[in-house]
Amino acid sequence: MNNDHASSPLVTMCVPVYNHEHFVVDSVRSIIEQTYQNIELIIIDDGSTDRSAEKVASLVDECEARFTRFRFVSRPNKGLSGTLNDALQWATGTYFSALASDDILYPTKTAVLVKHMIENPKCVASFGSVSLIDDQGIERGFRKSAGKHKFDEIFLLKTELPAPASMVVLQAIIEAGSYNPEVKIEDWDMWMRLTIGNDKFVEVLPDVLAKYRMHPANTMKQHDLVHDGLLLIVKQHKTHPLYNRVLCILNCVRFRNLATGRKKEALGLLAKLLMNPDSYREPRLYQGVLYLLLKW
């Protein structure tokens, strides 16, 4: 197979690896076991300090036999966006998918999304739904949705676009300027840059195509980092008519997260939110009020 074959275009898959020695073999093997054949795979160990690189090295022969093209790189740490950009420089596929080194794909993920992309040329990125697994790989639930979304819905946080189950037009990523190393929430930033000022859309399918691993490290400290990361991206769109409303939404999300454990901070933020009319149309405000009253 080759990149010119209309029914089976080449798909570039990237696994950025960082300190996931207990998970990375399962992640890579889930790509090896894809039913779709025409895949090139690049694995980049981003300066892991554990045995992740050694674990990947044990799979090199199998990967070289399986994939149309294969490359494994181990180098000093650059961060996730820098790693994804390194992969883009090597990539030759029509479509691009990244898989975190602790997540897992279902075998039909690539085949389902390639078919969808071919049939929907204005779809710049497609996503499957995901199951949620814990550190032992035990399934804990699902996040299912379906629908087409353009920039405004993405900007307003009305969508859930699961990165493990994604597939993107590679040339569109390059034309959008590749991944921004200055931001931490690189996927949300990219989904917006792919859809702003054009008629393209992203689409989520109800098919469960990946397993997203939930870690105990998802603490309030992580919520703080996510909030700061989202805020940095939003500030890139200060001239957009929805800018102030999105700031309000981010603060409602912040309030909801604070309300479960840092109630004094939550109350201070609530006082500000109640003075903003946009707050009253945001469900996360009311969720936060319930958490404030009921979760101790």
Residues 3-16 have pLDDT tens digits of 445 679 999 999 99
pLDDT at 132 over 80: yes
Task: Compute the average pLDDT of residues 119-131.
Answer: 97
Those residues whose C-beta lies under 8 Å from the C-beta of residue 271, and which sit 6 or more positions away, are none
- The residue range of the domain holding 177 is 11-213
Question: Considering 213, 232, 259, which residue would you say is the last residue of a domain?
Answer: 213
Could you report the per-residue pLDDT of 96-123, keeping only the tens digit for each? 999 999 999 999 999 999 999 999 999 9
118 within some domain: yes
In this prediction, residue 266 has a pLDDT band, given cuts at 50, 70 and 90, of very high
Q: Residues near 100 by Cβ (< 8 Å), separated by ≥ 6?
A: 15, 16, 20, 27, 163, 164, 213
Q: Which carries the bigger pLDDT value, residue 3 or residue 269? A: 269
Q: Which of 194, 213, 232 is the last residue of a domain?
A: 213
Higher pLDDT, 5 or 76: 76
The pLDDT-based confidence of 35 (bands split at 50, 70, 90) is very high
Question: Does a structural domain hold residue 145?
Answer: yes
Looking at the structure, tell me whether residues 239 and 95 fall in a common domain: no
Domain count, the chain: 2
> Which residue, 8, 12, 15, is CA-closest to 60?
15
Same domain for 154 and 231: no
Confirm whether 68 is domain-assigned: yes
In a domain, 102, yes or no: yes
Q: What is the pLDDT of residues 205-219, one digit of tens each?
A: 999 999 999 876 545
In SS3 terms, 39-51 reads as EEEEEEEECCCCC
Q: Are residues 240 and 113 in the same domain?
A: no
170-197: per-residue pLDDT in tens? 999 999 999 999 998 999 999 999 999 9
CB 201 within 8 A of CB 120: no
Residue 33 reports pLDDT greater than 60? yes
Q: Is residue 2 part of a domain?
A: no
Does 3 map to a domain? no
Is the domain of 158 the same as that of 284? Answer: no
**Residue 84 is encoded by which pair of tokens?**
């994804």
Q: Do residues 172 and 57 share a domain?
A: yes
Q: Are residues 182 and 38 in the same domain?
A: yes
Query: Quick one: 266 and 139 in the same domain?
Result: no
Q: Clarify whether residues 22 and 109 are in a common domain.
A: yes
pLDDT at 148: 96
> How high is the pLDDT of residue 3?
42
pLDDT band with cut points at 50, 70 and 90 for residue 222: confident
Same domain, 179 and 230: no
Q: Identify the CA nearest to 207 among candidates 109, 95, 97.
A: 109
Evaluate whether residue 4 is within a structural domain: no
- Indicate the residue among 151, 179, 213 that finishes a domain: 213
Helix (H, G, I), strand (E, B) or coil at 106: coil
Q: What is the pLDDT of residue 1?
A: 38
Query: Does 251 lie in the same domain as 148?
Result: no
Which structure tokens are listed for 67?
A: 């994939």
Closest CA relative to residue 108, chosen from 162, 30, 15, 12: 30
Q: Are residues 127 and 256 in the same domain?
A: no
Regarding beta strands 39-46 and 69-75, do their DSSP bridges make them parallel or antiparallel, or are they unpaired?
parallel
CB 12 within 8 A of CB 45: no
CATH number at residue 18: 3.90.550.10
Q: Are residues 204 and 132 in the same domain?
A: yes
Is 117 part of any domain? yes
